[in-house]
Amino acid sequence: MEKTIDESIQGQALTLEGKKENTRKLFIESYGCQMNFSDSEIVASILAKEGFNTTQNLEDADLVLVNTCSIREKAEQTVRKRLEKYNAVKRNNPKMKVGVLGCMAERLKNKFLEEEKIVDLVVGPDAYKDLPNLIEEVDAGRNAVNVILSKEETYADISPVRLQSNGVSAFVSITRGCDNMCTFCVVPFTRGRERSRDPQSILEEIDDLVNNNFKEITLLGQNVDSYLWYGGGLKKDFEKASDFQKATATNFAKLLDMAATKYPKTRLRFTTSNPQDMTLDVIEVMAKHPNICKYIHLPIQSGSDRILKEMNRLHTRQEYFDLIDNIKRLIPDCAISQDIITGFPTETEADHQDTLSLMEYVKYDYGFMFAYSERPGTLAERKMEDDVPEATKKRRLAEIIELQRQHSAVRHQAYIGQTVEVLIEKASKKSDAHWSGRTTQNTVAVFPKENYNIGDFVMVRIDECTSATLLGEAVGYSKNN
Ligand code: SAH
Ligand code: F3S
């Protein structure tokens, strides 16, 4: 799901109804994709009922949980470093228990207990409802592991505790797992088969957020465009569904349309779109509703047809261009961002040039670029040699990052002189006298606070820009307020 976020966040202290009396302190932090951050909110909710209050202080914690990422080797190293830190803290607080959640838990399973003595508890992404039982085991002095993947679990019945929230934007997960089997990617192994969540429960969660004054909701999934609800179950079984189930099924375009119609004053975003699954009707629904943000994260990975095939990305370069053309035709002001991997096995200089020329065609607004990192168990690891030298991967990566920097600058400069709607999220990191928010295109805009408040939709005249931020001045409220 979209971007890996290298920084971690901790939960805030909270009080919830219906919790057990003896309160214990939970420190929970998340690494990796937005789905992990969203899952940690589900975990905090499950444990609140067990009497755990979250704390932002690692030193105070009775239970430390780290929600982990396996997407690249570096992400795993970051988590290992964090475990060293917990080790140091545990010396002063020997009763502290440590659990690992998420993709590394799923990938390493029992091995985690052998490799990292600090770890008491290993829980995979589909086993969070078992946490109360697992914690009982740990309390009794035994290590506990549950890494069973599920074909049904969507946590639809759990109302997440909003951790570290700005009170303005929130995530709602709509699918879990991924069936795409891109050959470089560990996600299908760590998060299991793709399943969609009941649309009714999604709308109820959005309803709750809207009633609590949230203004922007991001629908999350590894592959949101593949969303399909026909009563539950795996997507591959849809063919066996009854005629009634087929007639009443909800796909992503329909879900988006329902949510945007029901909450016309709430901004909706979604991530991530896989080009092979994004259909024209989704773009049409986006064009129809002003409250669906004009921004699509559309990973390409490589501009070379040969490499796309080796990656098992099930579309061609031309099909991707057709999709981009359709987006630009139906939503001319739509921002588009990419994920690109450099140095996938067998990638030649010509393949790399194909990626650069594809970028020239699209001129992405943003990008998230990575050097290929071989992941154990993936098809690429089993069948292909990681044969592009590290220095070549890094050089190609630098070239791609530089080109993206130029394109981002061109895209940002185009906003100068325009007046755009910004949803205020927080004070600017650099100046307490300024607000920071985002435009519909997901570009950060910063402007003097005046009398505006967090959560306001404001019209901002853009006067200048840096490589990543628009700078301007508010000229009044947006009519969306
Ligand atoms: N569909 C997912 C993709 C998750 S991974 C989503 O919701 O975003 C995010 C990005 O990490 C991928 O698009 C890819 O560009 C990158 N990535 C995945 N596996 C990788 C690997 N083995 N090496 C380098 N980058 C990788
Ligand atoms: Fe990974 Fe491809 Fe799914 S990148 S998450 S297998 S769409």
pLDDT one digit per residue (tens) for the chain, 481 residues = 444 444 344 433 344 444 556 689 999 999 999 999 999 999 999 999 999 999 999 999 999 999 999 999 999 999 999 999 999 999 999 999 999 999 999 999 999 999 999 999 999 999 999 999 999 999 999 999 999 999 999 999 999 999 978 999 999 999 999 999 999 999 999 999 999 999 999 999 999 999 999 999 999 999 999 999 998 878 888 888 888 888 889 999 999 999 999 999 999 999 999 999 999 999 999 999 999 999 999 999 999 999 999 999 999 999 999 999 999 999 999 999 999 999 999 999 999 999 999 999 999 999 999 999 999 999 999 999 999 999 999 999 999 999 999 999 999 999 999 999 999 999 999 999 999 999 999 999 999 999 999 999 999 999 999 988 999 999 999 988 8
Buried b (16+ CB within 10 A) or exposed e, 297-321: bbbbbbbbbebbebbebebebeebe
The phi, psi pair for 450, rounded to 5°, reads 45, -135
Q: Which atom of ligand 1 is nearest to the CA of 180?
A: 1
Q: Which atom of ligand 2 is nearest to the CA of 1?
A: 5
Alpha carbon of 71 to those of 186, 189, 284: distances in Å? 6, 11, 32
For residue 339, the CA-to-ligand 1 centroid distance in Å is 7
Which run of H or E residues covers position 146?
Answer: strand 144-146
Ligand nearest to the CA of 220: 1
pLDDT at residue number 22: 65
Among 339, 347, 378, the mutation site with the greatest number of ligand 1 atoms within 8 A of its Cβ is: 339
Beta-carbon contacts of residue 391 (< 8 Å; ≥ 6 apart): none
For residue 4, the CA-to-ligand 2 centroid distance in Å is 14
Q: Round the CA-based radius of gyration of the chain to a whole number and report it.
A: 23
Structure tokens at 470: 């628009």
Q: Rounded distance, CA 55 to CA 134, Å?
A: 21
Matching residue, tokens 């590290």 = 390
Ligand nearest to the CA of 179: 2
Q: Rounded distance, CA 136 to CA 373, Å?
A: 37
Distance of CA 259 to the CA centre of its chain: 19
Alpha carbon of 54 to those of 29, 49, 62: distances in Å? 10, 12, 10
Q: Rounded distance, CA 126 to CA 232, Å?
A: 16
Q: Which atom of ligand 2 is nearest to the CA of 179?
A: 3
Q: Is 228 left (phi over 0), alpha (psi -120 to 50) or beta?
A: beta
Q: Rounded distance, CA 114 to CA 233, Å?
A: 35
- Amino acid identity of 43? V
Q: Is 185 in the pocket of ligand 1 (CB under 6 A)?
A: yes
For residue 71, the CA-to-ligand 1 centroid distance in Å is 6
Q: Is 270 in the pocket of ligand 1 (CB under 6 A)?
A: no
Q: Rounded distance, CA 188 to CA 178, Å?
A: 5
Exposed / middle / buried, residue 349 (Cβ in 10 Å: 0-12, 13-18, 19+): exposed
Predicted TM-score of the model (pTM): 0.93
Beta bridge partners of 269: 218
For the chain, count helices (H), then strands (E): 15, 21
Ligand nearest to the CA of 224: 1
Q: Rounded distance, CA 298 to CA 366, Å?
A: 10
Q: Rounded distance, CA 105 to CA 109, Å?
A: 5
